[in-house]
Structure 1
């Protein structure tokens, strides 16, 4: 038989007819004008077919007349789906509410950031942006066109050569390019460059001023290396001495390293806390209760919702709580000495510059007691040794 139109919208059932006089039942269907389709014999004196919902109750007189029985195998169509949805009205309301909240939250500005500013305070930029309607919890559809916002902020922020406003999802970034102004040169008094420690000169370069020492010369702390006075006693000129002087300097370190080294390691035990993130708020869903570990680290994993290439301010966050423990390792004296040397060298580079070089190291005294290795070490280091001294003139001159 011909399939009726819009069957899914109108709804239909798949039925199984059994027992009785099946042939008489099918003839009666044809005479009554009831629409059935996809009639397929499924066994001895049984047949499967489809019928519209509105015609299903009209089958009862025909079934009674022919002695057949009917069994509904499947219900298909929107009417049945709506009936299920009505039975789960609270779930449906919750889903609709969630979708509505998601739409509302994604229509708000959640975050305003400022990038590129150096001399202009971020607070001043955000204040000017707020006057133009750019602030958290503002509806995105109420914002002006981004090009117009950029021009107006550029006019209101002195010291900027360009301002750009970029919107990605619920976040707005204000990009600042500050106007380049020549930096005023600081007024510098005439000066000498002197040695800040006892040393042996290894390298000297005088950009301005008069060098008073040479390579391989031993100098004392406070000795003038590059003079800021040019000329002789009768005709002299004071300048700002500039240059670079390097020398060999000796540093004495008292080092102590424990033989038993303690390290923090992960045991492999962990548990998670899960949150629904809405902007700057988080609602915990799972992982309640006290953390069962005495020592632990927490690692956050963000999983925001995305739409195309945009990240929304709604998403999922997982806090992974990982148990830790302290393990002990007994090391040899040689390894302890190596660790001590490495720590001292790191300290030298941090204090005297990364361009310093450790030329040699000499152990002056060494002992092992109370579970530690003690050393007194003399390091020979090549480093910059200059510092400034202002030239002071006598009042009578």
Structure 2
């Protein structure tokens, strides 16, 4: 009698994904605090909104620029060391922020330190974990880990906004420092690398060499350009300026933060669903639909903002949430299809463009508010950019392999 032994699938990939998700959630919680600090820093320290916007600009650019080097560093030191190092950076940056007295310190502590930490655990980190540990469900896992970042960004918002209003902004920053400290042991214990994953390659030459090769190709330039618009229309204009814009219309900051939390909750469904769809459908067509619908949302927003939340504004929050980070899985899939083994580092550079776009609009939004007294021109301008992205992404050459086998 012949006995066939069937090996059970290893649970380690999912344990690693769980630890990575925890790191992403905690680091992601730092991303939206800057939007809640615009008013308090203006009132408490007398800084202009453009000064605060400069710190946000630096944060977003550093966040994006960190991605490709973090991806290369994961190949040199491993995923676990990079993840725990990132948590140390964001915790230290937030702790130092509570001591600042000048705008340049906000640029250094929040812009550089927190930017480095959040950038190392952003979409590039999610893509790297998915690439190394998963095959059949790679798109789904990438979507889930990207959604984890969104959970961190928005799940903490009601608590942080309540702390800022009830106590002060320094207490909110201290809470984030504590969260990063508590997460460190669990992340160190659960996150691992596959056997022989780490290599002896130097970090900077690898990241820059990949950029040099990719930058000569049309798909990279098109993906970087459209993803810059993605950053401008999410992190840049909505995540940074929605709360102060809503407050300008008489809405309490806590209510505006709750709406952002609705966006965050819908982001989870939208991103995971987008990952599922990316495993099955043409990534380019998905991106076209996402950018076009996002443009319609931004065009409508100035007409919807008011002192209270009604059904149309709530519908905006739901729809924008479904679209917000849904662009990540299909963009990762197109990077993988065109650049193969270099895809995590290439996506890191594409994410750099995302954050450059975000930072530019975050800074421009502060200037617009100081100059015109409202953010209306920003909503319309970024909506036009999204229309352009919905058309440009179709120019990216389609590759059948961008659909991962289920």
Q: TM-score, normalised by structure 1?
A: 0.15
Q: Tell me which of the two structures has the higher relative contact order, counting C-alpha pairs closer than 8 angstroms and 6 or more residues apart.
A: 2
Q: TM-score, normalised by structure 2?
A: 0.15
More helix by share: 2
More strand by share: 1
Larger Rg: 1
